[in-house]
Structure 1
Amino acid sequence: MTTTSSTPRVLFVCVKNGGKSQMAAGLMRAAAGSTVEVDSAGTKAGTTLNAQSVTSLAEVGIDISDQQPKQLSDDMVRAADLVVVLGSEAQVDSVDGTPVEVWETDEPSLRGIEGVERMTSIRDDIAERVAQLQQRLTD
């Protein structure tokens, strides 16, 4: 992957920027440290983080409680080397050729799985994808 700086920049996006994109950003920060610049945003940003997302990451030692949902902007897309959209609900267009990748994340609630079990499944699915992305970005 070609980047515009020595440190690749990835932007995770979902609709509200309260759950999945925040989880992905937290997982990437924990996995990559300073080797990848990370941000997240929402196409229709909410006002609070999803409490179950915060708790699920805390269970694996990652604290995102200091994060706030942010509204996606063209400048954020432009500044990224890669935009990762979590799920099919959020729609993000490339700006100035920035690649946009869509991750169809597992949604356990479609199978009747809710609560802690749902969030653990989502976290683990995103964590696996983040680990693969981190390797791609830093190889």
Structure 2
Amino acid sequence: MNKPSVLFVCVKNGGKSQMAAGLMRKAAGDSVDVYSAGTKPGTAVNALSAESMLEVGVDITGETPTLVDPQLVRDVDVVVTLGREAHVDPVDGTRFENWDTVEPSEHGIDGIARMRLVRDDIAARVDQLHSTITHPA
């Protein structure tokens, strides 16, 4: 069996997609090839995202936002877009999912408290995806 692969995409590739990739690497170890990218990448990982990840033993501080590579989109098994703003054109043979993640700032929750809620929402989704791609029915 080939090793499954997943690409996480958000707009800036500085927060949610980096968090998802870090959480998948933690959950999957070497059993899944994990990538992240942005549709309009920023210049750095969001500091609060990185701080919230360190709290659960995942270090994304050394990651660099990168642009979505159309070839990678074709090559991976699953592309996950996070949030409502990131869009990747579907391609045949690749599974696409959109995670409309929790957005605590819409309820007045900001700062590290917001990032913890976002992280925990993404972590639950990553665990579910990990199960489905490493143990297909």
TM superposition score normalised by structure 2: 0.96
Instruction: Identify the residue that residue 72 of structure 1 maps to in structure 2.
Output: 68
Which residue among 98, 103, 110 is the counterpart of 2:99? 103
What is the rounded CA distance, in whole Å, between the counterparts of 1:84 and 1:99 in structure 2? 8
Deviation at 1:97, TM superposition (A): 3.2
Which residue among 21, 42, 45 is the counterpart of 1:46? 42
What is the rounded CA distance, in whole Å, between the counterparts of 1:76 and 1:69 in structure 2? 15
Deviation at 1:76, TM superposition (A): 1.5
What is the rounded CA distance, in whole Å, between the counterparts of 2:56 and 2:35 in structure 1? 20
Letter in 1 for 2:32: V
Q: SS in structure 2 opposite 1:46?
A: coil
What is the rounded CA distance, in whole Å, between the counterparts of 1:50 and 1:130 in structure 2? 20
Give the count of matched residue pairs.
135
What is the rounded CA distance, in whole Å, between the counterparts of 1:137 and 1:71 in structure 2? 24
Deviation at 1:66, TM superposition (A): 1.5
Deviation at 1:100, TM superposition (A): 1.2
Which residue among 16, 33, 36 is the counterpart of 1:37? 33
Q: CA RMSD in A?
A: 0.9
Which residue among 126, 129, 135 is the counterpart of 1:133? 129
Letter in 1 for 2:66: K
**1:94-115 Cα shifts (integer Å, max 9, x gaps):** 1343121100000000000001
Q: SS in structure 2 opposite 1:10?
A: strand
Deviation at 1:65, TM superposition (A): 1.3
Runs of 4+ with >3 A deviation: none
Unmatched 5+ stretches in structure 2? none
TM superposition score normalised by structure 1: 0.94
